[in-house]
Amino acid sequence: MFATLAAEAVSTVTTVTNDAAWFLENAWIIPLLPAISFALILFFGKRMPYKGAEIGITAVSVSFILAILTGVAWLDHRDHFELEKYGEEQAIAVSDGAASATDTVAYTARFVAAEAGEGGAHPYVAVQSSTQWLQSGGIEFNAGIMVDGLSVMMLFVVTFISLLVHVYSTDYVGGDRRYTHFFAFLSLFTASMLFFVLSDNILQMIVGWELVGVCSFALIGHWWEEKPNSDAALKAFLTNRVGDVGLLVGMITLFFAAGGGKTFDTIKINEAVVQGGVSHTALVVAAACLTAAVMSKSGQFILHTWLPDAMAGPTPVSALIHAATMVVAGIYMVARLYPVFWEGMQIEGSSINLLATVGAITVVGAGLLAFVQDDIKKVLAYSTVSQLGYMAMALGVGAWTAAVFHLFTHAFFKANLFLGSGSVAHAVHSFDMKKDMGGMRKFMPKTYVTFVIGSLALAGVFPLAGFWSKDEILVNTGGWDLLGGSGAAPGSYTFHFVMGMIGAALTAAYMTRCVYLTFHGEYRGGHAAHDDHGHDHEEDAAHGHHGEPHESGPRILYPLYILSAFSILIGFVNLPPGFLAGSKKDPAGWQERFLHFVEPAGSSYFPAVGHATPSWSLAIVASLVAVAGAGFAYYYYFIRLDRLSKQLGESLVAIPNGITTTNVFARAGHTLLVNKYYFDHLYTGIIAGFTKGPLARAANWINQNVIDGTVNKAGESAVQAGQLVYHKIDQAVVDGAVNLSGRVSDASGEELRAINSGKVQNYAALMFAGAAVLAGAFVILLAL
């Protein structure tokens, strides 16, 4: 009832303006600066004192400042319409979906009337500025920007993480053989993602989507001389092309289906869907195809296999890919085109759909894979896959704000963890936790503290950032109604709720294992072959860089400090109602501030999503589940394994004769996980192997024996037919007839030559004979 009335109320209201603050109208400068930086670094970087790094850092710093100012302008823009024109309490209630349906309709009617001439405006007005690019067949192709809460949030996240990664990289990849090239593509990567999130139409989104993919290919394969690195880059590129087929089909479907208008404009497409102007069949097709695109770009099962292999790239690239750019592009695309999924998958009031189920399976499937990884970056990579599963699941169950908020918080603590893993690897020249790490807290106490903070935030420990966003996802599944009560969730997704709880336990457990193997026990390193910079270890040793690990420098540590602070505090920007309320002047305080400024509630291009009531019982149970997962891993590693290590006098990484060696089912499960569910074998060994082997040989045989045989037979038949025509028809018939006529003419000429002798008496005799014949003929005619 509420959704129907709210949708009807806003259906006639425009929610777009190009009359806004300068920073909102000119946000296109933010992606332009790193794009210019890319060109400048390529052309002039090697001549600069810091080999182009200073150009990249300056450009992204200015973009970051502009992103902050754009965010401030957006807050003022949003507040102007909600607080000044309609009163704070009711405006917030309607915007947050807390008002009754009757109040919402009445409230909406006021600003509809205001727009008609009373000086008012809509409570959520996005800023859209575009210009015509070209026109073909009566269709306009525009290029422009769309600035609203979602894009402003992404501008801040991308520029902030990118700036820290740039600073971090000046130390981490110092002396790299392609240092300038690295910073050039880092700038282009940042520009591509910023271009993508500001796109105001689906055609621009496709361009930005592909630009991000190309940049990831170049950066993952940065050390292309080593075959595993180039293979990983190709795997990422080709796997994403599979999903891109779905992207193109889905976008084309929306182009033709959105009200028959043939438009690329994102807002017009969303408005057409919200107002019922697109057939349900078209929405089902578009949503399913776009889900395939999300599966590849955002690493959802079963197209997730490229993402862990992408760790072959430099660690700063891994941090940027996993925290703020490429992998969240799919989640952002769903959030931007959310009406398509909301209506196409009938999310409201349902209990299962494709997007939510893919996300739920990804949460648990990737969490289990993280347990058997020896490479610290691959643990974090599978963790990213699992957390992206949370985001996809949240969007699938109708928890739009929860999904976007988890994207926001995840960016900070996952960047913290990746850069922290790089700090450790920088010291030991390896990413292998079992062989080359252990006891690192003694050598790197500062990195240790930041890594633990990031791990706790990822595990969802109160009150760190991950707790607030993950709890919001779980409560919005509606699954807690199974035990009595969160209420008001968009649907009843009990299966997804259970998978989310299992994922919470797995996350806490595998991060406890990761912390132990990396920082606790005894140091096991000192024999790695090469580090993450493409340097030879022997060369490092010759220059005195090899030996006992030591703490990283300030350009690595300070980004970790900043990200750790955000991992602790950033969750407070969206506190649930009833927690840390404000003053009388500002009763909401910090409650749901993120929702208030980011979710386009009440706009004509966004569905009327519901929000579940916060459940403290669920928060407590979910925390206990996470603690149980961490406690199990803690008992295994910190107590049993540590005690056994001291007894044996050596640093162990697993208990000898453990359950995986004594129990047949545990051993089979462990083998399945070690082989990553055999997806790589399926794709590489069976599908690619079959394509390159039997299928290629069969195609070659068909080409040689069927196609070429048919062509050759046709050629031979044509030659035989030509010979038949030449010998039997041309030579025998045509030439024979011509030759016969010649012989007849020759014979006739000989006879005539005998008559034409030149004697007068012969001619007279012929004339007399002719006259006699003619006279006979006349006599006969007269007689008749």
**pLDDT 10s digits, 156-187:** 999 999 999 999 999 888 888 888 999 999 99
The mean pLDDT of 130-141, rounded to a whole number, is: 79
pLDDT digits (tens, 9 = 90+) for 718-737: 888 888 887 778 777 777 77
Q: Which residue has the higher pLDDT, 754 or 88?
A: 754
The mean pLDDT of 649-673, rounded to a whole number, is: 78
Comparing 80-89, 331-340, 483-492, 510-519, the range with the smallest average pLDDT is 80-89
The pLDDT assigned to 533 comes to 47
What DSSP designation does 589 have? T
Grade residue 259 by pLDDT with cuts at 50, 70 and 90: low
Comparing 95-104, 209-218, 250-259, 442-451, the range with the smallest average pLDDT is 95-104
Other beta carbons less than 10 A from residue 515's beta carbon: 24
First CA to last CA across the chain, in angstroms?
A: 116
H-helix or E-strand spanning residue 310: none
Flag whether pLDDT at 81 surpasses 60.
no
Q: Which residue has the higher pLDDT, 343 or 116?
A: 343
The pLDDT assigned to 291 comes to 94
Flag whether pLDDT at 82 surpasses 60.
no
Comparing 94-108, 201-215, 301-315, 522-536, the range with the smallest average pLDDT is 94-108
Beta bridge partners of 439: none
The pLDDT assigned to 488 comes to 57
The pLDDT assigned to 60 comes to 95
The mean pLDDT of 268-276, rounded to a whole number, is: 88
pLDDT digits (tens, 9 = 90+) for 469-487: 998 899 888 876 655 445 5
The pLDDT assigned to 542 comes to 30
Is the separation of the CB atoms in 77 and 21 below 8 Å?
A: yes
The pLDDT assigned to 784 comes to 67
Average pLDDT, the chain: 81
Flag whether pLDDT at 13 surpasses 70.
no
Per residue, the 3-state secondary structure of 215-257, as one string, reads HHHHHHCCCCCCHHHHHHHHHHHHHHHHHHHHHHHHHHHHHHH
Comparing 251-265, 350-364, 755-769, the range with the smallest average pLDDT is 755-769
Edge-first strand listing for the sheet containing 126-136: 16-17, 126-136, 139-147
Per residue, the 3-state secondary structure of 163-183, as one string, reads HHHHHHHHHHCCCCCCHHHHH
Per residue, the 3-state secondary structure of 655-703, as one string, reads CCCCHHHHCHHHHHHHHHHHCHHHHHHHHHHHHHHHHHCHHHHHHHHHH
Q: Which residue has the higher pLDDT, 190 or 492?
A: 190
What is d(CA 77, CA 17) in angstroms, rounded to the nearest whole number? 11
SS3 category, 132 = strand
What is d(CA 622, CA 616) in angstroms, rounded to the nearest whole number? 10
Grade residue 669 by pLDDT with cuts at 50, 70 and 90: confident
Grade residue 105 by pLDDT with cuts at 50, 70 and 90: very low
Radius of gyration over every alpha carbon of the chain, rounded to an integer in angstroms:
38
The pLDDT assigned to 740 comes to 77
Flag whether pLDDT at 581 surpasses 70.
no
pTM over 0.85: no
Is the separation of the CB atoms in 465 and 568 below 8 Å?
A: yes
Comparing 296-300, 652-656, 750-754, the range with the smallest average pLDDT is 750-754
Alpha helices in 298-353 (DSSP H): 306-309, 315-323, 329-336, 338-344
The mean pLDDT of 703-711, rounded to a whole number, is: 85
The pLDDT assigned to 748 comes to 73
**Rounded percentage of the chain residues whose pLDDT exceeds 70:** 83
**Rounded percentage of the chain residues whose pLDDT exceeds 90:** 33
Comparing 15-24, 323-332, 445-454, 468-477, the range with the smallest average pLDDT is 15-24
The pLDDT assigned to 104 comes to 42
The mean pLDDT of 224-236, rounded to a whole number, is: 85
Q: Which residue has the higher pLDDT, 581 or 355?
A: 355
Comparing 34-38, 563-567, 636-640, 751-755, the range with the smallest average pLDDT is 751-755
Q: Which residue has the higher pLDDT, 2 or 232?
A: 232
The pLDDT assigned to 420 comes to 93
Retrieve residue 26's tokens: 């000119």
Strands (E), 443-595: none
Give the residue from 270, 271, 252 showing the smallest Cα distance to 262: 252
The mean pLDDT of 371-387, rounded to a whole number, is: 92
Comparing 139-153, 275-289, 414-428, 519-533, the range with the smallest average pLDDT is 519-533
pLDDT digits (tens, 9 = 90+) for 486-519: 555 666 888 999 999 999 999 999 999 999 999 9
Flag whether pLDDT at 122 surpasses 60.
no
SS3 category, 345 = coil
Retrieve residue 61's tokens: 């710093």
Grade residue 331 by pLDDT with cuts at 50, 70 and 90: very high
Sequence letter at residue 649? G
Flag whether pLDDT at 419 surpasses 80.
yes
